[in-house]
Structure 1
Amino acid sequence: MRGLVETFSAAGRPAQLTLDPRLTERSFPPEISTTVHRLVQEALTNCRAGGETMLYPSPGGSGRIHSRAL
């Protein structure tokens, strides 16, 4: 994901990826990694269209990720 964000930023619009350190210390099954990659990609696409997007985990630890326009 860092590479995706760096490529996006190099193309013109700055972006920042902040991960909880607990997420960088472990590996995830391919289906989870692919889903998160697609979510970040979609958020970056929304930014390119002129908006700002923040992805955040849902409250309560349900494992869901939400997107919110800033």
Structure 2
Amino acid sequence: MEVKIGVRDVPREIVLESDSTPDNVVAAVESAVASGTLLRLTDEKGKLTVVPGGLIAYVEIGAAETRRVGFGTL
């Protein structure tokens, strides 16, 4: 699923594809924002993204996207 993170005072958002469930991402974001700690998310290729919880402006969690092959989907 696609996760977009907006960071305060930064014009670009952070976009990553995650294997986590939406509930796990929401729980991690809530915890980081509430406690002011770091939000740590790993994408599907294993790359770690770390964002300070106090600087998170918004988080968009998208649905899992199916792979497109030709004119159909898998």
- Name the TM tier (shorter chain): 0.3 to 0.5
TM-score (norm 2): 0.32
- Per residue, is there more helix in 1 or in 2? 1
Which of 1 and 2 has greater Rg? 2
- Whose RCO is larger (CA < 8 A, sep 6+)? 2
TM-score (norm 1): 0.33
